[in-house]
Structure 1
């Protein structure tokens, strides 16, 4: 500290900053409006010391610390402080003059604005890519349309009672305000009833989210620490992997194998969980009925996964978005009114995700929800922590959307089942369109005999292409030459396969699209061999 003529004290602080594996010195003048060195010493004692690692041009001990004053009591105005800061530090971290090393650094390239490495490593959104391909070739199909069997949506509209609720919501005097983070009390109450009657879930806390994707983001943010890992099974739902990648990095995602029928490999799962002390596995994700597999897992098979994750104290995220699309009724049981219900698991370590986007055709309204047990202390704590995530991302789901969802529930499960039953024609047409691939592999003595996966659940079928065939090129060629769009399997961690959705077109149009798909397969795939 140096005493000036006006009895104020100043100190020059040398701050070590590590940047791009080099250390630079910053110089700053702090003026204290006190007249005694005692006051200055008192301020010094409240300063913050930060450890610095080395391996840089300027050799210093690994125990060297940077001195950073936490005191803001100065005689300068905010404008003067800002001007002083800019003159000392500049607008770039590399604009630090004085020492020889600093002069050398000035000749280096200044850093550019960058984006998160986590986001850079994240998969590209495949639905957007497919829409770009459709747009690129749309001029060739002006007389007839390009039929999309790509995105997983339904062709029907929400039930009439949802539209009635939408109209009524416009008269709601609180429509413009926030609601509780977890959701509207009236909707939460109805969801509790629905979960109990249709999913065998009692004693749960519910958070209404902006779609099932946000519910999954809530789970990842709540459960995974930076060093934790999460398991998904290939073929996987791309948005799940994207959520893990962009929040915890690509290394946080462990991709497990599935068996021939699309079931997760339980032997692999147990082997991996048993050695998870080194992997720090915190979470396993399942989609049932499956996206993109189109496979409904049996209740007994799911029970084994629930038991395994419980045994190794790992969270299990069950994405039940396609609960109404269990065509094989693999996980359904009859209820008292003969309506098939979809039982879920209410264990403390299981989080269940649901959606209004598929069965109730409310994709654009963005309403989903996650149910968490309120029995165990760990589950209760997870719910409390998830509310922080909820408050940060949407605060709450749109009131309008929640009121429409509340109205949609009046239609009941049977209304949804009636709509889902109309998919049978299109599903059969798609399965027929993919048969040439089955025959192609069957005729090959070295070929895989199990090349078609799905059809028992959700709204998808997957099929294996001839060996060495590029699934992404095929996707482009199908749009350009045959006017039909699908999703390449490589976007789902399954290169050499394709995913076909049979719910996004009315049955008659789906049959036309299936015919185009079959022609494309016969001419592009079978001639490839």
Structure 2
């Protein structure tokens, strides 16, 4: 039987990257006590007002079809959000509502890239990025993000990867998996390169509210990036509601107009009661959201503090997001081997860095979505394994 070529392009780029996570869940289901630090799922309570808005929408029978762009309430709320943030006029024509950042990312990439094109993306990269690029028919070009420079994308490295086939830069700040958070100056340098080479920028900003080392910066808000940037984001992280699947794209009017027919062929609208909740979320200022950011800011210090003097391990302070990257190469193992040994011997589940690209092959990614006591215990177990490994090498 014949299948579309996209199925071959995506082979191995989906659930296969999460094999250790699924094995940890299997073991936990079989009764093992596992510390699970694999996925970026906020564990702090979401704003009650947003939950109430969704419930109220259901009570008001807000369950019928909606428009392909999204209902006016959420579209106008998002337009106001980006007008406030960018300091320039942003209207409903600049916004399309989609169910979650991942859906928005897929729709935007399909709108901007196709077979024969190249999409530049940093390495390490979020686990779905390569698949999203290849699904469009385009080829990913990996821009190395050097640990020696805090995994920050540098304009010179980006420019070195550009060819006549380059069409898009896929950017993520604060960055998953590394936590690297680009400054306004760095964003400007990157946007200048993209302007010189007429590249679109797709900016994944799902961790916008979780920049710890300084203020958040976006190419959408920069004069050099404003007319060539498509923002994708959601309330999954900012409002601790990943299962609600409430996201969007903000960008130039022509981009949104061209994206909408594709979005309508995929979904033809989203759930009105969830859009009601999303509108409340992006318009509001909630104590729960501020508390979540401060909670993760505290948690971000745990692994760097505990692992700082451990032979074979190194963990810089995350600059943003909800993950810590631990360099385990000093133990003599790859990140993949260390993660499996950690699960087998210490019953701690973390993600191998190789799930996020070659540059992270000597690392593991640790989700901070557990309280500080659990993170301290996980760090102690990592230390125990590292000591065994390094002592074995010394012997």
Instruction: State the TM-score, normalized to the length of structure 1.
Output: 0.67
Please state if 1:245 is matched with 2:134. Answer: yes
For residues 181 and 356 of structure 2, the distance between their equivalents in structure 1, rounded to whole angstroms, comes to 18
Matched residue of 2:236: which SS? coil
Q: 2:384 aligns to what? A: 519
Structure 2: distance between partners of 1:130 and 1:241: 19
d(CA) in 2 for partners of 1:387, 1:525: 55
Q: Which residue of 2 aligns with 1:349?
A: 228
Residues 1:118 and 1:434: Cα distance change in structure 2 (over 3 Å): farther
CA deviation vs aligned residue, 1:357-395 (integer Å, no higher than 9, x gap): 001011001111111123xxxxx1x22110011101122
Contact 2:38 2:350 in 1 (8 A): yes
Aligned to 1:292: 177
Structure 1 distance, partners of 2:390, 2:170, is 33
Q: Distance in 2 between matches of 1:327 and 1:349?
A: 27
Deviation for aligned residue 1:398: 2.1
Q: CA deviation at 1:183?
A: 1.1
2:325 equivalent in structure 1? 462
Distance 2:289 2:86 in 1: 15
What is the match of residue 388 of structure 1?
A: 261
Task: Determine the structure 2 residue equivalent to 1:72.
Answer: none
Describe the SS at the equivalent of 2:21: helix
How far is 1:435 from its partner?
2.4
Q: Which sits farther off after the overlay, 253-262 or 189-198? A: 189-198
Q: Which has the larger helix fraction?
A: 2
Matched, 1:507 2:395: no
Q: Do the aligned residues in 1 keep the contact of 2:220 with 2:229 (CA within 8 Å)? A: no
Counterpart CA distance in 1 for 2:355 and 2:241 is 25
Higher strand share: 1
Q: Note if contact 2:21-2:351 (Cα within 8 Å) is conserved in structure 1.
A: no
Unpaired stretches in structure 2, ≥5 consecutive residues: none
SS in 2 for 1:170: helix
Give the Cα separation in 1 of the matches to 2:370 and 2:41: 9
Query: Which fold has the larger relative contact order, with Cα–Cα distance below 8 Å and residues 6 or more apart in sequence?
Result: 2
Q: How does 1:131-170 map to 2 (within 5 A)?
A: 131-138=21-28, 142=32, 145-170=33-58
2:318 and 2:57 map into 1 onto residues whose CA distance is 38
CA contact (8 A) 1:489 1:496 kept: yes
Is the partner of 2:294 in helix, strand or coil?
helix
TM-score (norm 2): 0.89
Residue in structure 1 matched with residue 70 of structure 2 by the alignment: 183
- Structure 1 segment 364-379 matched on structure 2, within 5 A: 364-374=243-253
Pairwise mapping of residues 392-407 of structure 1 onto structure 2 (< 5 A)? 392-407=265-280
| 1:192 is aligned to 2:79 | yes
Name the CA distance, whole Å, in 2 between partners of 1:164 and 1:149.
30
**C-alpha root-mean-square deviation of aligned residues, in Å?**
2.5
- Taking the aligned partners of 1:199 and 1:511, their CA distance within structure 2 comes to 39
Show structure 1 runs of 5+ residues with no match: 1-111, 333-340, 375-379, 442-450
Q: 1:440 to 1:170 in 2, by over 3 A?
A: closer
Larger CA Rg, structure 1 vs 2: 1
Say if 1:289 and 1:517 are closer, same or farther in 2 by CA, change over 3 A.
same
For 1:440, the equivalent position in structure 2 comes to 312
Q: Distance in 2 between matches of 1:342 and 1:271?
A: 20
| 1:486/1:499 contact within 8 Å kept | yes
- How far the C-alpha of 1:233 sits from its partner, in A, is 0.8
Q: Secondary structure at the match of 1:498?
A: strand
**Residues 513, 134 of structure 1: alpha-carbon distance in 2 compared, 3 angstrom cutoff:** same
Give the Å deviation of 1:454. Answer: 5.1
Contact conserved, 1:140 with 1:480, CA < 8 A, in 2?
Answer: no
8 Å Cα contact 1:452-1:463 kept in structure 2: yes
Contact 2:170–2:202 (Cα < 8 Å) also in 1 = yes
Q: What pairs up with 1:236-385 in 2 under 5 angstroms?
A: 236-248=125-137, 252-259=139-146, 260=148, 261-273=150-162, 276-277=163-164, 280-331=165-216, 344-345=221-222, 347-374=226-253, 380=254, 382-385=255-258
Instruction: Say which SS state the counterpart of residue 297 (structure 1) adopts.
Output: coil
What does residue range 81-100 of structure 1 map to in structure 2 within 5 Å? none
User: Secondary structure of the residue that 1:191 maps to in structure 2?
Assistant: helix
Residue 317 of structure 1 and its aligned partner are, at CA, apart by 1.0
CA distance 1:244–1:267, shift in 2 (3 Å): same
Q: How many residues align?
A: 384
